[in-house]
Chain A
Amino acid sequence: SAVISQKPSRDICQRGTSLTIQCQVDSQVTMMFWYRQQPGQSLTLIATANQGSEATYESGFVIDKFPISRPNLTFSTLTVSNMSPEDSSIYLCSVVAGNYYEQYFGPGTRLTVT
């Protein structure tokens, strides 16, 4: 298994600003993902961030809006740039751990853009 922490746990931001979310894992993992989730709704994958390579973005998400860093096997950041109210959501970090690719999730960052 893996234990994941995220910072901040929540934030309220002004339109047009940027927020960087940090994800720290208690063990070394290769595969890491960033998701977005409206409360009580489904998960939307933003990007896959593997250490040593550029992040791979899903359709509808671009690097200029959601730049990701993955400097080592235990840490990653997601930046939400030039925020608008539509970016208000819960952002989740997730890693693949275990023998058969089950995923573990961080507690989430609840972002509100005003």
Chain B
Amino acid sequence: AQSVAQPEDQVNVAEGNPLTVKCTYSVSGNPYLFWYVQYPNRGLQFLLKYITGDNLVKGSYGFEAEFNKSQTSFHLKKPSALVSDSALYFCAVRDRTNAGKSTFGDGTTLTVKP
């Protein structure tokens, strides 16, 4: 079985400050990990993924995520938040041996205040 936890329903940061959106996962094997973003009144967009190799992966809009195998975490980060980053963020995991679907977290609402 595979599962994802996003422990924070809401994250608030000031514009220009660094942001972190947390994600922990559980899989029986090695994971593929993903972040998706949903801007207000818009569809879900793929943001970045971890497959293998470097634990720090870079994605769209200046976001990056750090894979930590020992802590089974995949936190989303950005050095300097923008008001336009305000959105709903979903973490997802897929077991490499699983021929089926990814499991999504419950989502974290990020609000960046000017």
Contacts and interface: CB of A to CB of B under 8 A. Distances in A.
Contacts of A92: 43-44
Which applies to chain B's interface (DSSP): helix, strand, loop or mixed?
strand
Interface string A76-102: 000000000000000010100000111
A42 B104 contact: yes
Interface residues of B, number: 22
B43 A101 contact: no
Contacts of A33: 101
A40 interface: yes
B43 A106 contact: yes
Contacts of B101: 31, 33, 45, 48
A105 B43 contact: yes
Contacts, number: 45
Contact of B32 (A31, A42, A48, A101): A101
Interface residues of A, number: 20
Contacts of B94: 101
A106 to B, nearest CB: 6
Contacts of B105: 42
A94 B42 CA distance: 14
Given A40-B88, A48-B101, A102-B34, 7 more contacts: A42-B104, A100-B49, A100-B51, A102-B49, A104-B46, A105-B45, A106-B43
Interface of B: 32, 34, 36, 42-46, 49, 51, 88, 90, 92, 94, 100-102, 104-107, 109
